Amino acid sequence: MHWGSFHHRSGWRAAGNVIERIAKIVVLAEDLRQGNSVYHYLIRCGQHQRSIVLRLAPRGQGSGEQYVRERYPIEVAYYRHRSRLRSAALATVLDADTGSVEEHERELTSALAAAGEAEREDAEAISVLIPKRNIETWILCLSGEIVDETTNYRGHPRIDEMIRPAAGGLYEWSRAGANVPASCVSSLRKGLGEVRRIG
Protein backbone atom coordinates (compact mmCIF):
# COMPACT_ATOMS: atom_id res chain seq x y z
CA MET A 1 0.00 0.00 0.00
CA HIS A 2 1.31 3.43 -0.91
CA TRP A 3 0.86 5.50 2.24
CA GLY A 4 1.53 8.74 0.39
CA SER A 5 -1.79 8.39 -1.47
CA PHE A 6 -3.75 9.12 1.71
CA HIS A 7 -4.92 12.63 2.52
CA HIS A 8 -3.89 14.10 5.86
CA ARG A 9 -6.56 13.86 8.52
CA SER A 10 -6.67 13.86 12.31
CA GLY A 11 -5.51 10.54 13.72
CA TRP A 12 -2.99 9.84 10.98
CA ARG A 13 0.72 10.13 11.62
CA ALA A 14 3.42 11.93 9.71
CA ALA A 15 6.50 9.84 8.93
CA GLY A 16 8.96 12.24 7.39
CA ASN A 17 7.02 13.85 4.56
CA VAL A 18 4.68 10.88 4.20
CA ILE A 19 1.29 10.76 5.92
CA GLU A 20 0.25 7.31 7.04
CA ARG A 21 -2.57 5.68 8.88
CA ILE A 22 -1.43 3.57 11.83
CA ALA A 23 -1.00 0.05 10.52
CA LYS A 24 -1.55 -1.81 13.78
CA ILE A 25 -3.13 -0.59 17.00
CA VAL A 26 -3.47 -2.93 19.97
CA VAL A 27 -6.05 -2.08 22.63
CA LEU A 28 -5.21 -3.94 25.84
CA ALA A 29 -8.16 -3.79 28.23
CA GLU A 30 -9.90 -5.51 31.11
CA ASP A 31 -13.29 -5.81 29.42
CA LEU A 32 -15.37 -5.06 26.35
CA ARG A 33 -16.65 -1.68 27.57
CA GLN A 34 -13.12 -0.41 27.97
CA GLY A 35 -12.10 -1.90 24.63
CA ASN A 36 -15.09 -0.49 22.78
CA SER A 37 -14.57 2.97 24.26
CA VAL A 38 -11.05 3.16 22.81
CA TYR A 39 -12.09 1.40 19.60
CA HIS A 40 -14.76 3.99 18.79
CA TYR A 41 -12.37 6.81 19.69
CA LEU A 42 -9.85 5.45 17.20
CA ILE A 43 -12.50 5.08 14.52
CA ARG A 44 -13.48 8.71 15.12
CA CYS A 45 -9.80 9.61 14.66
CA GLY A 46 -9.92 8.07 11.19
CA GLN A 47 -8.33 4.71 11.87
CA HIS A 48 -9.62 1.69 9.95
CA GLN A 49 -11.33 -1.02 11.95
CA ARG A 50 -9.04 -3.65 10.45
CA SER A 51 -6.00 -1.92 11.97
CA ILE A 52 -7.38 -2.23 15.52
CA VAL A 53 -6.91 -5.37 17.61
CA LEU A 54 -8.68 -5.77 20.97
CA ARG A 55 -6.89 -7.84 23.60
CA LEU A 56 -9.34 -8.35 26.45
CA ALA A 57 -8.96 -10.27 29.70
CA PRO A 58 -10.56 -13.72 29.33
CA ARG A 59 -13.87 -13.81 31.16
CA GLY A 60 -14.06 -15.99 34.23
CA GLN A 61 -10.29 -16.48 34.41
CA GLY A 62 -9.27 -14.19 37.24
CA SER A 63 -8.65 -10.49 37.62
CA GLY A 64 -8.90 -8.32 34.54
CA GLU A 65 -6.52 -5.83 36.16
CA GLN A 66 -3.94 -8.58 36.69
CA TYR A 67 -4.28 -9.70 33.07
CA VAL A 68 -3.63 -6.17 31.78
CA ARG A 69 -0.72 -5.61 34.16
CA GLU A 70 0.97 -8.90 33.23
CA ARG A 71 0.27 -8.53 29.50
CA TYR A 72 1.43 -4.90 29.32
CA PRO A 73 5.21 -5.59 29.04
CA ILE A 74 4.53 -8.15 26.30
CA GLU A 75 2.49 -5.65 24.29
CA VAL A 76 5.04 -2.87 24.85
CA ALA A 77 7.80 -5.14 23.52
CA TYR A 78 5.58 -6.07 20.56
CA TYR A 79 4.85 -2.40 19.85
CA ARG A 80 8.54 -1.51 19.96
CA HIS A 81 9.45 -4.29 17.58
CA ARG A 82 6.63 -3.50 15.16
CA SER A 83 7.15 0.27 15.23
CA ARG A 84 10.65 -0.22 13.80
CA LEU A 85 9.05 -1.65 10.68
CA ARG A 86 5.65 0.03 10.39
CA SER A 87 3.52 2.58 12.18
CA ALA A 88 2.05 1.11 15.38
CA ALA A 89 0.35 2.10 18.61
CA LEU A 90 -0.69 0.59 21.94
CA ALA A 91 -3.59 1.68 24.16
CA THR A 92 -3.74 0.19 27.65
CA VAL A 93 -6.86 0.55 29.80
CA LEU A 94 -7.53 -0.49 33.37
CA ASP A 95 -9.87 0.84 36.03
CA ALA A 96 -8.42 2.48 39.13
CA ASP A 97 -11.42 1.21 41.14
CA THR A 98 -10.82 2.27 44.75
CA GLY A 99 -7.07 2.74 44.26
CA SER A 100 -5.30 5.74 42.77
CA VAL A 101 -4.35 6.42 39.16
CA GLU A 102 -0.74 6.98 40.24
CA GLU A 103 -0.62 3.63 42.04
CA HIS A 104 -1.65 1.77 38.89
CA GLU A 105 0.81 3.76 36.79
CA ARG A 106 3.62 2.71 39.13
CA GLU A 107 2.53 -0.93 38.90
CA LEU A 108 2.67 -0.84 35.11
CA THR A 109 6.09 0.80 35.19
CA SER A 110 7.29 -1.87 37.64
CA ALA A 111 5.93 -4.59 35.35
CA LEU A 112 8.02 -3.18 32.50
CA ALA A 113 11.15 -3.12 34.66
CA ALA A 114 10.56 -6.70 35.84
CA ALA A 115 10.33 -7.82 32.21
CA GLY A 116 13.53 -5.98 31.27
CA GLU A 117 11.71 -3.32 29.23
CA ALA A 118 12.62 0.36 29.40
CA GLU A 119 10.13 2.89 30.73
CA ARG A 120 7.66 4.42 28.31
CA GLU A 121 9.16 7.33 26.39
CA ASP A 122 7.32 10.55 25.56
CA ALA A 123 7.61 9.98 21.82
CA GLU A 124 6.18 6.45 21.91
CA ALA A 125 2.60 5.92 20.75
CA ILE A 126 1.72 4.09 23.97
CA SER A 127 -1.20 5.42 25.99
CA VAL A 128 -2.12 4.39 29.53
CA LEU A 129 -5.75 5.15 30.38
CA ILE A 130 -6.82 4.67 33.99
CA PRO A 131 -10.43 5.71 34.65
CA LYS A 132 -11.36 6.33 38.27
CA ARG A 133 -13.51 4.79 39.55
CA ASN A 134 -14.14 2.92 36.31
CA ILE A 135 -14.73 3.35 32.56
CA GLU A 136 -18.41 3.96 33.24
CA THR A 137 -17.40 7.17 35.08
CA TRP A 138 -15.74 8.43 31.90
CA ILE A 139 -18.62 7.39 29.64
CA LEU A 140 -21.13 9.28 31.76
CA CYS A 141 -18.86 12.32 32.16
CA LEU A 142 -18.29 12.50 28.39
CA SER A 143 -22.06 12.25 27.95
CA GLY A 144 -22.60 15.42 29.96
CA GLU A 145 -23.55 13.87 33.31
CA ILE A 146 -22.12 15.16 36.58
CA VAL A 147 -20.18 12.33 38.19
CA ASP A 148 -17.62 11.75 40.93
CA GLU A 149 -14.72 9.31 41.11
CA THR A 150 -15.87 7.36 44.16
CA THR A 151 -19.33 6.17 43.05
CA ASN A 152 -19.51 2.88 41.16
CA TYR A 153 -21.58 3.59 38.02
CA ARG A 154 -21.18 0.13 36.53
CA GLY A 155 -24.88 -0.67 36.89
CA HIS A 156 -26.05 2.59 35.31
CA PRO A 157 -28.70 1.91 32.60
CA ARG A 158 -27.92 2.47 28.90
CA ILE A 159 -24.15 2.61 29.43
CA ASP A 160 -23.42 0.41 26.42
CA GLU A 161 -25.44 2.56 24.02
CA MET A 162 -23.63 5.65 25.32
CA ILE A 163 -20.15 4.35 24.45
CA ARG A 164 -20.01 5.49 20.83
CA PRO A 165 -21.26 9.07 21.47
CA ALA A 166 -18.96 9.28 24.51
CA ALA A 167 -16.02 8.27 22.30
CA GLY A 168 -16.95 11.17 20.04
CA GLY A 169 -16.83 13.43 23.09
CA LEU A 170 -13.42 12.02 23.98
CA TYR A 171 -12.22 12.94 20.50
CA GLU A 172 -13.55 16.50 20.78
CA TRP A 173 -12.25 17.10 24.31
CA SER A 174 -8.78 15.79 23.45
CA ARG A 175 -8.22 18.11 20.48
CA ALA A 176 -5.70 20.92 20.87
CA GLY A 177 -7.38 24.03 22.20
CA ALA A 178 -10.58 22.22 23.18
CA ASN A 179 -12.79 23.85 25.78
CA VAL A 180 -12.93 21.03 28.33
CA PRO A 181 -15.82 21.55 30.78
CA ALA A 182 -15.11 22.05 34.48
CA SER A 183 -17.21 18.93 35.16
CA CYS A 184 -14.47 16.75 33.61
CA VAL A 185 -13.16 14.43 36.35
CA SER A 186 -9.43 14.47 37.04
CA SER A 187 -8.61 10.96 35.76
CA LEU A 188 -10.35 11.75 32.47
CA ARG A 189 -8.58 15.10 32.21
CA LYS A 190 -5.29 13.21 32.51
CA GLY A 191 -6.55 10.67 30.00
CA LEU A 192 -7.09 13.39 27.38
CA GLY A 193 -3.31 13.84 27.18
CA GLU A 194 -2.84 10.10 26.99
CA VAL A 195 -5.17 9.53 24.04
CA ARG A 196 -3.32 12.21 22.05
CA ARG A 197 -0.42 9.75 21.94
CA ILE A 198 -2.44 7.40 19.74
CA GLY A 199 -4.92 9.71 18.00
Q: pLDDT tens digits for 62-77?
A: 799 999 999 999 999 9
Task: Out of 13-17, 31-35, 95-99, 183-187, pick the least confident.
Answer: 13-17
9 lies in some domain: no
Query: Hey, which bits of the chain come out as E strands?
Result: 13-15, 18-20, 24-29, 52-56, 88-93, 126-129
Domain count along the chain? 1
2 lies in some domain: no
Domain limits for position 157: 21-195
189 lies in some domain: yes
Which CATH number is 122's domain given? 3.40.50
Residue 81 has pLDDT above 80, yes or no: yes
35 lies in some domain: yes
36 lies in some domain: yes
Q: 55 - beta bridge partners?
A: 28
- DSSP SS3 for 54: strand
pTM above 0.75, yes or no: yes
pLDDT in tens, 148-180: 999 999 999 999 999 999 999 999 999 999 999
Residue 15 has pLDDT above 80, yes or no: no
3 lies in some domain: no
6 lies in some domain: no
136 lies in some domain: yes
Say how far apart CA 177 and CA 157 lie, in whole Å: 32
